DNA sequence: CAGTCTAGTAAGGACTCTTGCCTAAAGGTG
DNA sequence: CACCTTTAGGCAAGAGTCCTTACTAGACTG
């Protein structure tokens, strides 16, 4: 809409950005290689590299080309540019990594948590992991991307407790916990959204710009990808399907989460789904189990009718501890075949997908942080 | 992500774009005014204006400044740059306009249609309107933006007949109908999506980036705006809520459209809602009418639970012939107050909103067509 | 050891943007 | 009416960026 103001500084910034981006894709390159890869002339690249070296964003690695011809110098991103923290918080524990702008993992810390550890323990584990990774890596932790197994408030990054939804990780404020260890922004989103991003980039829906990812585990979650981007809505609560009205076992309209109460599939004194019991039923072949499967398929079919109405996905991905069970998928497909509108289903393909998705975002964000650092004033 | 390649041509293109954009916002300006408004220096503007004049995109209007100081020449976009066709097709008739890049309406044609005219009549009316507007205006019709009161296939722009949904306008292929009269692209979307855009820009949800617009008329439609953009999904069927499962009059789960059958609110031998009868009931105060209102509120509440789950709107806008009825809104609000999650409601504010929304898009698209015409090869 | 190949540099040209100054023409002022 | 002020537009100079071409330095090849 609004075109940037033309200026020579803009050109310079563009050249530098091209150089930095290509150095993020290939960790070490000579000036000549940068020139051919970017399509910019060698002299211009030389000037840019000099500029970036003076700004300490790029360094001569000391390595030299071997082979025919004159010896070239390899350049790379400066090592002290820092890393991004990637963290996943689940009831099982905290997994944290540091990644650099090239997407290389520089260290990983795993901390197991007790089943009823509470948010203090989670916060402590996250803080400790950040401190350790920050100490280990060459530069500072410049930003953090956090995945949490609960709804996340889009504005503040804090976890939200919705009525009738299990609160797995609990009242946690990742930006506050990480404020000391991380110098820049802290981006928080729930695990299902990150998992959807991972499936989009590396999993079973590559190239599908519009899809819905339904996560079925202890909690019931969903992610909506529209036009290639994870949609979060006003408060970040897109995909919170617990209160969605759907069809219950006897055809009554009821909230999705109530279906599990009606089927006696909840964990004691909790709104969490009893996953072992449910998996057990999915593996059983008697008529009672069959009835439960039908009821589940019908309830999930109702959820999918809502997904079709509000997201119009090309595909629906089913993930989570019991979501990708073949017998469940078969039952849902059968149900959909009798519905007026249908949609292809596929099973989630990745393990630890939320970390993959969060990592991708972290790398992207770190890259743009570095590029903007080269020309703080120029904007477009 | 990928930065454009720096080049002097890019700078030139950027300058020209700045000039063209400012001339689209203010119909006539002197070189000096362009310079101050864009923040670019006078000599640069002079060169750009010369270039654009040679390319016949800009003309000296012949007008001269009056007042103190040297007389300046006013420049403006060339008049033959053409216009965009904006058309709305409803069962009542066709309304078509030509708009230029400054958003000025250059002519309007209204054609009434008989209640059961069929798509041939609609196609003919559309074609005739386009031919007339194309003949009247100075330049060609360079693109068209069409609003139709039916679902639109995102890939082809053709209207789609979904099962159990009324097919108001019918099997129409606007791109084919307009191929002769319009030189460029034909963008088609359904009226509810355009109406949502209009409410976003000029109506009751200005500045609200995430909202849902529920249109309740003969057909049941919905638009989802996420991050400030109307979301269409894979096939363009976002908002087709007819088959969404919700709660029926007796608490049974049923498709939204079936609720109207159950309440005997359909027009004879059709799936269209009987709007006069429904409005009548909304205005009545006996217990039977009250029961119908309750049932409607419950069914719409179910639809809104799906909207909350999949779009997380900040606000829900209710529009259409019976959607903004105060008594209906009150009934829905009462229902929502008892639900675990709620959302503010507001009534649609605009008349003929679909034309307003389509017009905005047409102006935007025409502007970018003109800007790109100035530098066909440069891309960024 | 001459030939070949390649990274990096130097020179020159083309082009764009900016600053500053100048001119022309109109309105206002005494 | 003469003069000053104001404003649009043009011109010149200068700085900066990118590109092409040509060259140099150094290492491998045969």
User: In DSSP terms, which residues pair with A144 in a beta bridge?
Assistant: A85, A186
Distance of alpha carbon A273 from alpha carbon B254, whole angstroms = 25
Place of tokens 């990054």: A157
Start-end of H helices in chain A:
8-25, 31-38, 42-54, 119-136, 174-178, 191-202, 256-262, 275-283, 287-311, 326-337, 353-374
Q: What is the pLDDT of residues B41-88, one digit of tens each?
A: 999 999 999 999 999 999 999 888 887 888 889 999 999 999 999 999
In three-state secondary structure terms, B67 is: coil
- In terms of Cα–Cα distance, which of A101, A98, A44 is closest to A78? A101
| Contact call for residues B122 and B154 (beta carbons, < 8 A) | no
Check whether residue A6 has its CB closer than 7 Å to nucleic acid strand D.
Answer: no
Residue B1 is predicted with a pLDDT of: 64
Q: What is the pLDDT of residues B87-137, one digit of tens each?
A: 999 989 999 999 999 999 999 999 999 877 778 899 999 999 999 999 988
Q: What is the pLDDT of residues A254-263, one digit of tens each?
A: 999 999 999 9
Label residue B154 left, alpha or beta by phi (over 0 means left) and psi (-120 to 50 means alpha): alpha
Residue A380 is predicted with a pLDDT of: 62
Q: What is the pLDDT of residues B164-174, one digit of tens each?
A: 888 888 889 99
Residue B22 is predicted with a pLDDT of: 96
Residue B380 is predicted with a pLDDT of: 62
Chain B window 34-63: residues with CB closer than 7 Å to nucleic chain C are 39-44, 47-48
Which DSSP state fits B6? P
Percentage of chain B beyond pLDDT 90 is 86
Residue A288 is predicted with a pLDDT of: 93
Q: Which domains does chain A have, with CATH numbers?
A: 8-77 (1.10.10.10), 81-195+354-369 (3.30.420.40), 206-349 (3.30.420.40)
Percentage of chain A beyond pLDDT 70 is 99
Bridging pattern class, strands B93-99 and B83-90: antiparallel
* Cβ neighbours of A214 in B, within 8 Å: none
| Mean per-residue pLDDT, B264-285 | 93
- Cα separations in angstroms, B269 against B116, B164, B240: 14, 12, 21
Q: What is the pLDDT of residues B172-213, one digit of tens each?
A: 999 999 999 999 999 999 999 999 999 999 999 999 999 999
Check whether residue B67 has its CB closer than 7 Å to nucleic acid strand D.
Answer: yes
- Residue B16's nearest nucleotide, by CA–C1', is C16
For B122-207, list the strands marked E by DSSP. 141-148, 186-190
Question: Does B253 score more than 90 pLDDT?
Answer: yes
Q: How far is B5 from chain A (nearest CA, A)?
A: 7
Q: What is the pLDDT of residues B286-302, one digit of tens each?
A: 999 999 999 999 999 99
Residue B91 main-chain phi, psi, to 5 deg? -60, -25
| Mean per-residue pLDDT, B159-163 | 91
Question: Does B267 score more than 80 pLDDT?
Answer: yes
Which DSSP state fits A170? -
- Cα separations in angstroms, B372 against A338, B14, B52, B77: 48, 11, 12, 14
Q: Which of B6, B209, B309 is the closest to A14 by Cβ? A: B6
Question: Are A11 and B15 an interchain contact pair (Cβ–Cβ within 8 Å)?
Answer: no
| Contact call for residues B28 and B64 (beta carbons, < 8 A) | no
| Mean per-residue pLDDT, B374-378 | 83
| Mean per-residue pLDDT, A274-280 | 96
CA of A8 to C1' of D17 (A): 7
Going edge to edge, which strands form the sheet with A229-231?
A229-231, A220-226, A211-216, A315-319, A345-347
Question: Does B155 score more than 80 pLDDT?
Answer: yes
Distance of alpha carbon A362 from alpha carbon B220, whole angstroms = 41
Q: What is the pLDDT of residues A128-171, one digit of tens each?
A: 999 999 998 888 999 999 999 999 999 999 999 998 888 888 88
Residue B43 is predicted with a pLDDT of: 94
Question: Does A1 score more than 70 pLDDT?
Answer: no
Interface-testing mutation among B252, B303, B312, B341, with chain A (most A C-beta atoms within 10 A): B312
- In terms of Cα–Cα distance, which of A158, A90, A94, A150 is closest to A126? A94
| Contact call for residues B155 and B202 (beta carbons, < 8 A) | no
Q: How far is B342 from chain A (nearest CA, A)?
A: 11
Q: Which residue's alpha carbon is at the shortest distance from the C1' of D10?
A: B43
Question: Are B14 and A11 an interchain contact pair (Cβ–Cβ within 8 Å)?
Answer: no
- In terms of Cα–Cα distance, which of A262, A287, A280 is closest to A328? A280
Chain B window 263-302: residues with CB closer than 7 Å to nucleic chain D are none
DSSP B319-352: ESTTTT-HHHHHHHHHHHHTSSS---EEE---SS
Q: Which of B40, B234, B312 is the closest to A5 by Cβ? A: B40
| Contact call for residues B18 and B72 (beta carbons, < 8 A) | no
Indicate the helix (H) or strand (E) that contains B196: helix B191-202
Question: Does A110 score more than 70 pLDDT?
Answer: yes
Distance of alpha carbon A194 from alpha carbon A355, whole angstroms = 7
| Contact call for residues A144 and A129 (beta carbons, < 8 A) | no
């Amino acid at each position: 809409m609004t075109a940037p103001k033309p200026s020579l500084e803009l050109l310079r910034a563009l050249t530098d950005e091209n150089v930095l981006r290509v150095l993020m894709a290939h960790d070490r390159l000579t000036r000549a290689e940068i020139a051919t890869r970017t399509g910019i002339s060698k002299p211009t690249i030389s000037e840019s590299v000099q500029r970036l070296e003076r700004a300490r964003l790029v360094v001569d690695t000391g390595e030299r080309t071997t082979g025919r011809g004159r010896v070239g110098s390899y350049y790379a991103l400066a090592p002290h540019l820092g890393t991004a923290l990637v963290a996943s918080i689940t009831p099982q524990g905290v997994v944290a990594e540091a990644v650099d702008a090239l997407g290389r993992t520089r260290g990983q810390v795993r901390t197991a948590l007790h089943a009823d550890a509470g948010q203090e323990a989670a916060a402590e584990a996250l803080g400790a992991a950040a401190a350790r990774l920050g100490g280990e890596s060459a530069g500072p932790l410049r930003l953090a991307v956090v995945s949490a197994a609960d709804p996340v408030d889009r504005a503040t990054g804090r976890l939200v407790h919705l009525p009738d939804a299990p609160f797995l990780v609990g009242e946690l404020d990742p930006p506050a916990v990480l404020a000391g260890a991380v110098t820049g922004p802290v981006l928080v989103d729930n695990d299902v959204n990150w998992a959807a991003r991972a499936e989009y980039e590396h999993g079973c829906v590559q190239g599908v710009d519009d899809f819905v990812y339904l996560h079925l585990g202890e909690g019931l979650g969903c992610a909506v990808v529209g036009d290639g981007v994870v949609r979060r809505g006003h408060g970040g609560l897109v995909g919170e399907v617990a209160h969605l009205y759907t069809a219950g076992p006897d055809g009554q309209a009821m909230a999705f989460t109530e279906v599990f109460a009606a089927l006696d599939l909840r964990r004691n004194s909790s709104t969490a789904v009893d996953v072992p019991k449910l998996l057990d039923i999915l593996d059983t072949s008697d008529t009672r189990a069959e009835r439960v499967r039908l009821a589940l398929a019908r309830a999930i079919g109702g959820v999918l009718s809502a997904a079709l109405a509000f997201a119009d996905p090309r595909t629906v991905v089913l993930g989570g501890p019991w979501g990708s069970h073949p017998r469940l998928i078969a039952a849902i497909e059968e149900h959909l075949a009798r519905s007026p509108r249908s949609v292809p289903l596929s099973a989630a393909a990745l393990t630890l997908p939320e970390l993959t998705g969060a990592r991708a975002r972290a790398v992207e964000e770190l890259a743009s942080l570095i590029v903007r650092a080269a020309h703080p004033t120029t904007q477009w």
